[in-house]
Amino acid sequence: MAHKMIWKLKPSLMLPLTFNSQSKHVIRFHHHPFSSLTIHHPINYTTTAAANTNNNGDYVKAKEFLELTDEELVRQCEMDFLKSSGAGGQHRNKRESAVRLKHLPTGIIAQASEDRSQHMNRDSAVKRLRALIALKVRKPVDLDAYSPPRELLQILPPKSTIRGSEIGPQIGPKNQKFALGMQALLDLIFAVEGSISEAAKYIGLSTGALSRLILSDDSLRKEVNDLRASKGMKPLK
C-alpha cells in the first residue's frame, strides 16, 4: 500500500537518483537527497554584541541568566524576524527565516540566519545569546575568599590541583555547559586584571595549562586578549 502511494510522488531533485538506482521500481530511501538530515550548513552568521553591563544591577543577575531555560531566556528578549512584513501565513512564500534576539536586561543581540528553518535559527540564536552573555556579562569576585565554582572546575583539565575526581570529565567548548564555566573563568581573569599567572594560582593550574585552556576557544581567547590589550599587556597566542 505504502509503496503504491509513494510511487505517485513526483520527485524533482531526487528524480535522477531514483532512476540511476538498479531497480526502477523501488525508491531507495537511503539515496533520497534529504536523507542526510544532519546537513552541516557552512556558518556565515553575524553576531553582534552590544553589551554593556558595567552597572552593578546587572552583576547580580549575570550567572542567573545562564541558568534560565531557553524559554525563560527568550521571554526576556525582544525577537524580530528580519524583513518580515505584510499579512504572512498562507499569503506568503516566505524564505526569510533569519531570527534576531535582543536580550532586554543586558542589551546583548544575537542573530542567526544560516539555517533554512526559522525554528532552527531560533535555537542557534539562543545558543549564541548564551555564549555572548557568558562573554560579556561580568560579576565581581572576592579574591580573598575565592573558591572556584563547580561550573568552572568542570571546564578545567584534570591536572588542576584543586579539581577533585568527583567533578567528572572535563567539559569542552562544544558542550553547552562550557558557557557557564567560561563566564566564571572570565570573572576571575577580570578580577586579577588580565594576569594569567595570577589567575592560574587560584585554580591550581600552571600558567601554560591555563593559557592552553583559554586558547581552546576562539571567543574566550578574544575576550581575554581584549582585556589584556586594554591593560597594555601582550596578547596570548
Partner 1 sequence: MNSLKYHAQFQRDKMMDNGPDSSILCRELKWLMEDAVEDHSLFSKMGFENSDEKVKMRVGIEELYNLWKERIEKRRPFQYVVGCEHWRELVLSVQEGVLIPRPETELIVDFVCDVVSKNEDLKRGVWADLGTGSGALAIGIGRALGIGGRVVAADISPVSVAVAAYNVQRYCLQDKIEVREGSWFEPLKDMEGKLAGLVSNPPYIPSKEISGLQAEVGRHEPRVALDGGVDGMDALFHLCDGAALFLKPGGFFAFETNGEQQCRDLVDYMKNKRSESLCNFEIVADFAGIQRFVIGFHH
Binding residues for partner 1 (CB under 8 A):
2, 5-6, 8-14, 16-17, 29, 32-37, 39-42, 79, 81, 84-97, 115-120
To partner 1, the closest distance from the beta carbon of 117 in angstroms equals 4
Helix, strand, coil percentages (3-state) for the chain, rounded to 5, are 45, 5, 45
Round to whole Å and give the CA distance between 21 and 106: 55
First to last CA, the chain: 63
To partner 1, the closest distance from the beta carbon of 225 in angstroms equals 27
To partner 1, the closest distance from the beta carbon of 17 in angstroms equals 6
To partner 1, the closest distance from the beta carbon of 11 in angstroms equals 6
Round to whole Å and give the CA distance between 102 and 47: 11
Cell numbers 525563560 correspond to what residue? 72
57 versus 89: smaller Cβ distance to partner 1: 89
What cell was used for 231?
A: 591593560
86 versus 158: smaller Cβ distance to partner 1: 86
Q: Is 70 helix (H, G, I), strand (E, B) or coil?
A: helix
Nearest to 132 by CA among 207, 77, 189: 77
Round to whole Å and give the CA distance between 147 and 135: 20
35 versus 52: smaller Cβ distance to partner 1: 35
| Residue 102 phi, psi (nearest 5) | -115, 115
32 versus 61: smaller Cβ distance to partner 1: 32
94 versus 159: smaller Cβ distance to partner 1: 94
To partner 1, the closest distance from the beta carbon of 29 in angstroms equals 7
To partner 1, the closest distance from the beta carbon of 177 in angstroms equals 22
To partner 1, the closest distance from the beta carbon of 53 in angstroms equals 27
Cell numbers 541568566 correspond to what residue? 65
92 versus 150: smaller Cβ distance to partner 1: 92
Q: What is the DSSP letter of 156?
A: S
Nearest to 192 by CA among 181, 208, 203: 203
| Residue 36 phi, psi (nearest 5) | -85, 85
